[in-house]
Amino acid sequence: MENINIKINGMPLSVPKGSTILEAARYAGVEIPTLCYLKGINEIGACRICMVEVVGMKNLVAACVYPVAEGMEILTNSPRVFKARKHNLELILSTHEKKCLSCVRDGNCELQKLCHDFKVSDENYYAGENIRYEVDDSAVHMFRNDNKCILCRRCVAACQKWQSVAVIGANGRGFNTHIGCAFEQNLSDVACVSCGQCIVVCPTGAIAEKDNTEEVWAALNDPTKHVIVQTAPSIRVTLGEAFGMKIGTNVEGKMVAALRRLGFDAVYDTDLAADLTIVEEATEFVDRVKNGGVLPMITSCSPGWIKFCEHYYPEFLPNLSTCKSPQQMFGAIAKTWYAQKVGIDPKDIFVVGIMPCTAKKFETRRPDENAAGEGIFDVDVALTTRELARMIERAGLYFRDLPEEEFDAPLGTSTGAATIFGATGGVMEAALRTATEWITGEELKQLDFTEVRGIEGIKEASYQVGGLQVRVAVASGLKNAKTVLERVKSGEAQYDFIEIMGCPGGCINGGGQPIQSATVRNFVDLKAKRARALYEDDRKDVLRKSHENPVLKEIYKEFLGEPGSHKAHEILHTHYVKRDRF
Instruction: Considering the chain, tell me which residue range(s) the CATH 3.10.20.740 domain(s) occupy.
Output: 3-77
In the chain, the amino acid numbered 393 is E
Start-to-end CA span in the chain (Å) = 47
Taking the domain 100-209, which CATH number applies? 3.30.70.20
pLDDT band at 126 (very low <50, low <70, confident <90, very high): confident
Task: Write out the residue limits of the CATH 3.30.70.20 domain(s) in the chain.
Answer: 100-209
Q: Among 160, 195, 422, which residue's Cα sits nearest to residue 305?
A: 195
One-letter amino acid at 288 equals: R
Residue 518 has pLDDT above 90, yes or no: yes
Question: What are 526-573's pLDDT values in tens digits?
Answer: 999 999 999 999 999 999 999 999 999 999 999 999 999 999 999 999
Rounded Cα distance, 311 and 306, in Å: 9
pLDDT band of 121, cuts 50, 70, 90: confident
Quick one: pLDDT at residue 207?
A: 98
> Under a CB-based contact definition with an 8 Å cutoff, are residues 531 and 259 in contact?
no
Q: What pLDDT digit, counting tens, does each position of 480-490 carry?
A: 999 999 999 99
Rounded distance between C-alpha atoms, residue 473 and residue 529, angstroms? 23
What pLDDT is attached to residue 467? 87
Q: Exposed, middle or buried: residue 186 (CB in 10 Å: 0-12, 13-18, 19+)?
A: middle
- Mean pLDDT score, 414-442: 96
Residue range 19-66, pLDDT digits in tens: 999 999 999 999 999 999 999 999 999 999 999 999 999 999 999 999
What is the rounded average pLDDT of the residues 410-429? 97
Burial 331-366 (b: 16+ CB within 10 A, else e): bbbbbbbbbebeebebeebbbbbbbbbbbbbbbbeb
pLDDT tens string 324-335 = 999 999 999 999
| CATH, domain 214-572, list 3.30.70.2740, 3.20.130.10, 3.40.50.1780, 3.40.50.300 | 3.40.50.1780
Query: Could you tell me whether strands 497-501 and 468-476 are parallel, antiparallel, or unpaired per DSSP bridges?
Result: parallel
Query: Bigger pLDDT: 236 or 367?
Result: 236
Stretch(es) of the chain classified as CATH 3.40.50.1780: 214-572
Q: Give the model's pLDDT for residue 128.
A: 78
Asked whether residue 129 carries a pLDDT value surpassing 90, the answer given is no
Residue 199 has pLDDT above 80, yes or no: yes
Q: What is the mean pLDDT of the chain?
A: 96
Closest Cα partner for 25 from 64, 78, 61, 56? 64
Question: Residue 314: its pLDDT value, please?
Answer: 98
pLDDT at position 284 over 90: yes
Kindly give the pairing relationship between strand 266-269 and strand 226-231. parallel
Residue 151: pLDDT over 90: yes
**Identity of the amino acid at 169:** G
Q: How far apart are CA 534 and CA 426, in angstroms?
A: 9
- The 10s digit of each residue's pLDDT in 288-300 is 999 999 999 999 9
What's the pLDDT band for 353 if we cut at 50, 70, 90?
very high
- What is the average pLDDT across 352-378? 95
* Nearest of 517, 537, 578 to residue 241 by alpha carbon: 517
CATH class of the domain defined by 3-77? alpha beta
